Amino acid sequence: MAQISLTFPDGNSRHFEAGVTPAEVAADISNSLAKKAISAAVNGRHYDLQWPITEDAEIAIHTMKDEAQALELVRHDAAHVMARAVQELWPGVKVTIGPVIDNGWYYDFDRDEPFTPEDLGAIEAKMKEIINRRDPVTTEVWERDRAIKYYEANNEPYKVELIEAIPGTEPIRMYWHGHWQDLCRGPHLQHTGQIPADAFKLMKVAGAYWRGDSNRPMLQRIYGVGFLNRDGLKQHLTFLEEAEKRDHRRLGREMDLFHLQEEAPGQIFWHPNGWRIYTTLQDYMRRQQEAGGYVEVNTPQVIDRKLWEASGHWEKYQENMFIVEVDEEHAREKTVNALKPMNCPGHVQIFNVGLKSYRDLPLRMAEFGSCNRYEPSGALHGIMRVRGFTQDDAHIFCTEDQIESETKQFIAFLAKIYADLGFEDWKIKLSTRPEKRIGTEAEWDRVEAALGTACNHAGYEFEVQEGEGAFYGPKLEFVLTDAIGRDWQCGTLQVDPFLPERLDANYIGVDGAKHKPVMLHRATLGSFERFIGILIEEHAGKLPFWIAPRQVVVASIVSDADAFVHEVVAALRARGVRAEADIRNEKINYKVREHSVGKVPVILAVGMKEVEDRSVSVRRLGEKHTHVAPLDVIVDELAAEALAPDLR
RNA sequence: GCCGCAGUAGCUCAGUGGUAGAGCGCACCCUUGGUAAGGGUGAGGUCGGGAGUUCAAUCCUCCCCUGCGGCACCA
């Protein structure tokens, strides 16, 4: 038998027979390591303890102390144990796939009856039982045909389909947890007893399409979360509870910012407090855009279908558009119009008026464009995904040569704004050519590279999403995260050489001939609605002072101070601070509590002492202590703080 | 759009085949209180909408709407 040399993390090497498994290596080191081992790293690859090693390699044996690997295995085995529990409880339920995800795993099942919340409890109990059996996990590589026949005989058609999709070069690996069997690429734990039985929880059941395809059967997905110990689970559940308190829908109600109601699904009724946030942001963005070399325009809401046909929206996007037909009885001519879902065709109309020269490029045309899209009902989500929204949209008409510098400039523009708004943590995704696309490979090569280099030159990393680009061009997505870790695309930059073609936009080049400009669609915040949602969740409602809708409440401690309260409010308002008086017949404790819950950044309390020396008692949100400041000092201080970052 | 769950007072929620309850909030009164809920009294509901079963429906059945969690979608 051939010998191989295995090198351990401490640098020592030893010889073993080729085909030795990590389990045997561990046993060779010590009995206790053999018991504690969960998997191995062999030349950097996460390796099952049972897989044979056939060549010289670097090896490390993992135990539960190797947290990343342990979590991966625990969750993966828990997914299998869950599937086993389901099949033990309800024989005949078909199994499909069950991957590890953030914080846990899911497994998709095909079963006629829906799983109920009570079922989850039963499954959890059965899982604990299986874990306690400490069933060994074993594995074999099977011939493809044998595996297919096996699954056909067991009435598991989804598994057959999975095997058929595995490339011929890959082994078909079967795993057993005791007598229960599943197709799996591994690796896995030694036995089910290595799963901590008190550190997982089944969270919810949801529908999910087989292979993510809405034309295929709807399966039932059970989600679980799992950790290495009870504390890990507890921490996660606490995090979810805390996240619930940051939910913008809840804070929107508590802070009296907006509401939604069933007569206008997906559209927002902005209350005074919410609208102050909106207009403050919009004013700020308008200044940024002016400074950034944009011109602002405004275009119609309701536009004849002819223009949408020309732009291609009628064909490609109609099912997402609100179509407006004028009643024939009331109109001399019946026309079919659509509410604009995007601003681009309108902007091209403005570009097209008069002849443009290369000297006009790049032309940066901005609009706070109010759009309506008929989003699928299931996609609606608070104010983050709505049917009526306003983009801080702009289209940059430029030459292909200018794409890179415009992109770079835009990223810097966006980064500054995100920083001003308190976001340091965001990421860029580059979506590249999709399967269905127009244009030549060479064109795609050029524009994708231009976006990528622009990012690099601007000093930003990006994640590539292969095939996720628009059919007309690649795009950059600027992604922010909500309270429970869901990603939302906010900013975007998309290259579009196509619309100028369709809508016949031209400029006269240096050569005196007509040329087509390239269009960059770009948005910084994305939509005010979504961005405000993220902003609320990011700050848990405690918005930066300059954006806070109610910046200061001046509260009287005794009613004899009421007159001075009004004087303080007036002084603040005169300096541009959003201040309100609270002279209600309530104790100061009550007022402090109420305005703290309402996330008012500053409470100024006024009693007789303050009246006498013309001062106020200052209490900042989140701080327990207070201090007394002379009126004119605090007015200066808050007036300075109320300025937007770009005006300081 | 698909799967599942839910909809009772402004909010959070309890409840019953015989037309409804709590806490908070709101109004009024007492209280003038020094930094996260002082006390009392009172008003407030077509029980999401429609149809059906029943002597009788908020409750049971069906359809629809909206919301929530996922999936799909997201120019």
- Bond into A434 cis (ω within 30): no
Nearest-nucleotide field for A521 (CA, C1'): B75
**Nearest nucleotide relative to A499: CA against C1':** B75
Nucleotide nearest to A590 (CA to C1'): B37
- CA–CA gap between residue A2 and residue A609 (Å, rounded): 92
Q: Could you tell me if A303 and A338 are in contact, meaning their C-beta atoms sit under 8 angstroms apart?
A: yes
At residue A231, the pLDDT reads: 95
| Backbone dihedral angles phi then psi of residue A408, each to the nearest 5 degrees | -60, -45
What is the rounded average pLDDT of the residues A189-203? 95
Q: Give the nucleotide with minimal C1' distance to the Cα of A593.
A: B36
Residue A66 CA distance to nucleotide B43 C1' (Å): 63
Question: Are A445 and A473 a contacting pair, CB within 8 Å?
Answer: no
In angstroms, the CA A58 to CA A10 distance is: 10
Take residue A478 and report the two structure tokens written for it. Answer: 């600027």
Of all nucleotides in the shown strands, which has a C1' nearest the CA of A560?
Answer: B32
Q: Measuring from the CA of residue A468 to each C1', which nucleotide is nearest?
A: B74
Q: How far is CA A148 from CA A92, A145, A164, A174, A369, in A?
A: 18, 5, 8, 12, 55
| Residue A220 · residue A108 · CB < 8 Å | yes
Q: How far is the CA of A569 from the C1' of B10 (A)?
A: 28
Q: Which of A184, A344, A371, A398 is catalytic?
A: A344
Q: Which residue is nearest to nucleotide B10 (CA to C1')?
A: A253
Question: How long is chain A?
Answer: 648
pLDDT score of A328 more than 70: no
Decide the pairing of beta strands A427-431 and A363-372.
unpaired
**Half-sphere exposure for A111 (CA within 13 Å, toward CB):** 23
Cross-strand partners of A480? A488
Q: Clarify whether A288 is annotated catalytic.
A: no
Q: Is the pLDDT of residue A126 over 90?
A: yes
**A373 tagged catalytic:** yes
Rounded CA-CA distance A622/A542 in Å is 9
- Cα-flanking dihedrals φ and ψ of residue A318, to 5°? -55, -40
As beta bridge partners, residue A336 has A325
> Which residue in A476, A468, A478, A477 sits closest to A433, CA to CA?
A468
pTM assigned to the model: 0.93
pLDDT single digits (tens) A12-70? 999 999 999 999 999 999 999 999 999 999 999 999 999 999 999 999 999 999 999 99
- pLDDT score, position A439: 83
- A66's CB contacts (< 8 A; 6+ apart) are A38
Report the DSSP pairing between strands A45-47 and A39-42. Answer: antiparallel
Question: Which entry of A393, A482, A496, A582 is annotated as an active-site residue?
Answer: A393
SS3 A4: strand
Considering A373, A522, A591, A595, which one is annotated as catalytic?
A: A373
Sign of CA dihedral A310, A312, A318, A322: negative
Per-residue confidence at A199, pLDDT binned at 50, 70, 90? very high
DSSP codes of every residue in A143-208 = -HHHHHHHHHHTT-HHHHHHHHHS-TTS-EEEEEETTEEEE------SBGGGS-TTSEEEEEEEEE
User: For A112 and B19, how far is CA from C1' in angstroms?
Assistant: 39
Q: How far apart are CA A411 and CA A425, in angstroms?
A: 14
Tokens of A7: 């090198």
The answer to whether residues A279 and A285 touch, using CB atoms and an 8 Å cutoff, is no
Q: What is the pLDDT of residue A624?
A: 87
Alpha carbon distance A210, A207 (integer Å): 10
Q: How far is the CA of A593 from the C1' of B45 (A)?
A: 29
DSSP states of A348-410: HHHHHSS--BGGG-SEEEEEEEEEE----GGG-BTTTB-SEEEEEEEEEEE-GGGHHHHHHHH
Looking at residues A348-364, what average pLDDT do you find?
96
Return the pLDDT at A472: 84
Closest CA to A642 of A576, A549, A550, A566: A576
A173 contacts: CB under 8 Å, gap ≥ 6: A139, A140, A141, A142, A183, A184, A185, A186
Q: Tell me, rounded to whole angstroms, the distance of Cα A80 from its chain centroid.
A: 28
Gap from A295 CA to B14 C1', Å: 58
For residue range A246-256, list pLDDT tens digits in order: 999 999 999 99
Burial class (CB in 10 A: 0-12, 13-18, 19+), A598: middle
Res. A378: pLDDT tops 90 = yes
| Nucleotides in chain B near protein beta carbons (<7 Å) | 1-5, 7, 11-12, 30-38, 65-75
Q: Are A346 and A393 in contact (CB under 8 A)?
A: no
Q: What phi-psi label fits residue A643: left (phi over 0), alpha (psi between -120 and 50 degrees) or beta? A: beta
> Could you tell me which of A183, A217, A218 has the C-alpha nearest to residue A80?
A183
Catalytic residue from among A475, A550, A591, A619: A475
Our measurement of CA A110 to C1' B1, in angstroms, reads 20
Which residue lies nearest B29, CA-to-C1' measured? A585
CA of A264 to C1' of B54 (A): 37
Per-residue confidence band for A331, with pLDDT thresholds at 50, 70 and 90: low
Distance from residue A123's CA to nucleotide B62's C1', rounded to whole Å: 32
pLDDT digits (tens, 9 = 90+) for A605-621: 999 999 999 999 999 99
pLDDT one-digit tens code per residue, A527-572: 999 999 999 999 999 999 999 999 999 999 999 999 999 999 999 9
Residue A344 appears among annotated catalytic residues: yes
Q: pLDDT tens across A146-187, in order?
A: 999 999 999 999 999 999 999 988 899 999 999 999 999 989
How does residue A2 score in pLDDT terms, banded at 50, 70 and 90? confident
The catalytic position among A391, A409, A494, A551 is: A391
Note the CA–C1' distance, A159 to B64, in angstroms. Answer: 39
* Nearest nt (C1') from A208 Cα: B71
What gap in Å lies between CA A248 and CA A368, rounded to an integer?
23
For the CA of A254 and the C1' of B20, the distance in angstroms is: 27
Residue among A340, A395, A530, A591 flagged as catalytic = A395
**A271 in catalytic set:** no
Distance A322 CA to B46 C1' (A): 33
| Inter-residue contact A382 to A248 (CB < 8 Å) | yes
Task: Please tell me whether the peptide bond between A114 and the residue prior to it is cis, using omega within 30 degrees of 0.
Answer: no
Residue A332 has pLDDT above 80, yes or no: no
A475 annotated active-site: yes
The nucleotide whose C1' lies nearest the CA of A487 is B74
Tell me which of A221, A236, A356, A521 is the catalytic residue.
A521
- State yes or no: ipTM above 0.90: yes
